[in-house]
Every structure is written in C-alpha cells, then in structure tokens.
Structure 1
Amino acid sequence: MSATARVAGKVHKWLALLMAIQILFWFVSGLFFAIAPIEQVRSEHMKAAAPPAPISIAVAAAGLQRIAGAAPGERIEIRTMLARPVALVSPREGRPRLYDLGSGRQISPVPSALAVEIAEADHVGNLQAARVSLVTEASPEYRAALPAWRIEFDDGANRALYVAQDTGVVTARRSTLWRVFDFLWSLHIMDFKNHEDFNTPLLIVSTALALVMIVAGIVLFPSRLGYNAWRRRRRRDRQGPQ
C-alpha cells in the first residue's frame, strides 16, 4: 500500500467513526423525507373544501361604510369568514384589526369560541375540538402570527390547528407526522433548538468532514480493490528478472 493510501485509510477510518451517527441521521431522515408525502405532512389532505364565497360590491361598500369611523389602515382586505363578509385592516404599525362588515363590529382579537368554529370548519369531517389553548410565544412547532389559538382534535393523528387571534386565519396545521418530520429535519440540518437554520457552523463543519471522508475513500478505493498491487506486479513482470 502506498503512503498516500495509508494516510487516506487512516483519515477515512477515523472520520467514519466520528461521523457515523450523523451520517446515519442524514440517511434515515432523507429516506423519510423521500417517502412521506409533503401534502400529508402539512395536513393539506385534511383541509375541508371551501370554495370562495363571492361578495358583491354593494355589500362590501355598505360594510366599509359601517366601519368608516375606525382607525385608518395601510391595507384593507375584504374576504369571507364562516360565510360572512369581513374586513381586515392592517395599519403600518400595530396589530391588524378584523371587522364584521354586516354589523360593523370589531371581531379581533378573535375569542376562543370563534376560533374553535373556524378550526372545526377548516377540518375535514364533523369532529369537534377537544382542547383549546392560547399561544403567545413562538416554538419549533409554531412560528407564525402571534398570539394564536391552538385547537386540538382527537382524530388519531394528534392534529392541532392554529388560528391567529388578530386575523381569524388558520395559520398552521400540525400532526404527529409533521412532528416526526420536524424532529428528523432538526437532525438533518443539525439545528437542535429552533429546527430551521441550515447554515449552522455545526452543519458546515460536519458536511466538510464528511466530504473529506468521501474523498479519502475515493483515494483508498483502488488500493482496496487490489488495483495498486496489480499495477506493481505488472510493472515487475515487464521489467523481468534482475
């Protein structure tokens, strides 16, 4: 074995020992990502079909007239919520405000009972919410608009829907499958705290070491196949007896 092959062998062996567990995590998580349909991970298949309900200009104009005395906003969005027209007023600074255009009443912050109605209407089937809690801080499971209501369903998948308190919008759908996916994602990108940063120094160093290990393996490959020994024998045969 040549000196280069001996050095490559030692580098490959020790880096393989050092990186074995993380490489296992990369392959296991990568296999899971390839198998699990992303639509099911996001619970999109459990979202009830809700064709958009048209709102006439007259209804929208009358509703906006009812809230004409409200504080101004930089953007006004008119949509339906539980089959009734609403307006979301978003100021440049501060929290958005949601209004019922039928009554002119401000809905936000959305109360828990209304959030449960929104979540149950969004969920496929006729399941009723099992538990409701208010989320005020971001976590690995939920990083969208805050505060938000977390509405849990006993549907066999530990599904939880998040409804933003300011907008009344379902901002996230979580399940056991999503949580497994997220856990494996944290192992894959080596961000064990927030599960979202794939530029961590730990990942960069680990990937660089894995690359060195692969290159060392490629250098070692001809020697392990006996190619180098075959070349030496062939060279001796050509030179003949001394």
Structure 2
Amino acid sequence: MKILRLSTQLHKWIGLIVGLQVLFWVGGGLVMTAIPIETVRSEHRVAEAQLEPLALDALPGLGEIAGLAGVAPVQADLHGTPRGPVWTLKPASGDAVIVSAITGRPFAPMSRDEVPAFAKRAYRGEAEVTGVSYLATAPEETGKTGPLWRVDFADGEKTSFYVSPSTGEVVSRRSGVWRLFDFFWKLHVMDWDDGEDFNHPLIIITTALTLIIVITGFVLLWVRVSRDLKVMRENRKKPK
C-alpha cells in the first residue's frame, strides 16, 4: 500500500528530525507545570510592605516638582518607596525621571553598606545576605534597564533581589528556580536568546512537522488495527 509506505517513511524520518525537540517540549512542559508559578516568582520570599502613608498635604505640588526637576511630563506617578515618596515623571521623549516628591531632585546614590538593609526589609525569611554587587547595566534576566544593586541570600532557592539605586525598591526577584524555569521555557519556545519570541519560523516549521508525525501515526495505527480486525474475522470464519 502506497499510503502505508509513505506514512511509514514520513513518520520515521520526521520523527528522527524533530524527536529531540518533542522531548524538550514534553520535558519542559512537565517542569513548568510541576513548579508553582508563585515559587518561580519568589512570591513566598516577599515580605509585607512597610511604607508610611503619603502625607499629601505636606508635599509640594506636581507643577513645582516638575519645575525643580526640569521636566515637562506627559505622565506622572506618585508613590511611596523605602527612601521616601517619589515622582516618576515621563517626558514626551526620552526616559522617565525619578525624583524625590519632597525636594524635586534625584536621590543621592546609595552606598554598598545601605543596600542590604533595603533588601532585607523586602525579604521574607531568615537567610543571611551572602553578596552585594553593583551592576552598571541591568542583567537581561531582570527585564529592566539601567544600573541595579544585586543582593544574594543564602536560602535554598539562591534568591537574588535586584534593588533600585534610586529608590531602594526591589524591582526584580530571581532565583535558581526561576533560572531553571527560564532554561526550560527557552527550550520550549525554541528561542535560546531571551525567550521572548514564540512565533518565529523555526518553531512554526517544527510544530508543522510534529503535526505530520501525529497524522501519519494515526494512519499507521488505522492500518494496523484494520489489518488485525481482518485477521480476527478470518479466524472466526475458519471451521473449528
């Protein structure tokens, strides 16, 4: 049968080509479903916020703050941080400017000795700080830009908090669990760069080939079952 021969050849050779990626899909899917997403995000390591309510009546108005900062914002956000209330001013073009909501000026840089206290305040657990490092460029894994402080903790997940050098806020949390998850995610979407592109031609082609494997597998199964049923019927007709 031509259809049987064709299905067998397609099933065999395409299976050899994409079989490893199918293994990555299944194995990665198992890892990603077995680990709670809350653990991946280190949500169990986040302490309750301890910020003071904003004293709005005592703060200068937005217009005054924008004048002091020398920014003509098209968008402005006021919120509390460990170093005090801040305005995030977004001009029509360029990066947002973060300034104190009291002085209208950027905060003074934090020293290395100050950083662990901000990280510990945001951390839930008893683990000690094992390392503090200043990063002039935010690592890709943070999803942020600009400089950051990294604070490492001696817990089972090897948690790292990334702290804003301006406000003392923890802007990103990463851990060994997150990095394991990220590794399998990149294998899953076949984007080994940053794991952001899951519509690229390679994964589309591989998925199409995998679909062919499934279809030819059903064809082979149908042929085998039909043959077995035919043999069973012939055996029943034979005289005993």
Q: Fold-level match, TM-score > 0.5?
A: yes
1:182, CA displacement in angstroms? 0.3
Q: Which runs of 5+ in 2 are unaligned?
A: none
Q: Which runs of 5+ in 1 are unaligned?
A: none
Question: Closer, same or farther in 2 for the Cα pair 1:53/1:43, shift >3 Å?
Answer: same
Q: Match of 2:58?
A: 59
| Aligned residues of 1:87 and 1:98 also touching (Cα < 8 A) | yes
Q: Match of 1:34?
A: 33
Distance 2:166 2:97 in 1: 6
SS of 2:129's equivalent in the other structure is coil
Deviations 1:105-128 (A, max 9, x none): 521655544443332211113545
Deviations 1:4-39 (A, max 9, x none): 112101111122222221111111110111111001
1:100, CA displacement in angstroms? 3.5
- Cα-Cα RMSD: 3.0
Spell out the pairing of 1:1-242 with structure 2 (5 A cutoff).
Answer: 2-50=1-49, 53-61=52-60, 69-74=68-73, 75-82=75-82, 84-102=84-102, 105-107=105-107, 112-125=112-125, 127-137=127-137, 139-166=139-166, 168-225=168-225, 227-228=226-227, 230-231=229-230
Which deviates more, 135-144 or 169-178?
135-144
Question: Closer, same or farther in 2 for the Cα pair 1:69/1:103, shift >3 Å?
Answer: closer
1:129, CA displacement in angstroms? 3.1
| Aligned residues of 2:68 and 2:105 also touching (Cα < 8 A) | no
SS of 1:187's equivalent in the other structure is helix
Q: Letter of the 1:60 partner, please give it.
A: L
Which deviates more, 178-187 or 14-23?
14-23
1:93, CA displacement in angstroms? 3.5
Question: Closer, same or farther in 2 for the Cα pair 1:29/1:113, shift >3 Å?
Answer: same
Distance 1:135 1:154 in 2: 20
1:99, CA displacement in angstroms? 3.3
Q: Letter of the 1:50 partner, please give it.
A: A
Question: How many residues get paired?
Answer: 235
Q: TM-score, normalised by structure 2?
A: 0.82
Question: Closer, same or farther in 2 for the Cα pair 1:154/1:99, shift >3 Å?
Answer: same
State the identity %. 32
| Aligned residues of 1:140 and 1:195 also touching (Cα < 8 A) | no
Q: TM-score, normalised by structure 1?
A: 0.81
Distance 1:231 1:137 in 2: 70
Question: Closer, same or farther in 2 for the Cα pair 1:136/1:210, shift >3 Å?
Answer: farther
| Aligned residues of 1:53 and 1:83 also touching (Cα < 8 A) | no
1:233, CA displacement in angstroms? 8.4
Deviations 1:190-220 (A, max 9, x none): 1112222112222111111101111110111
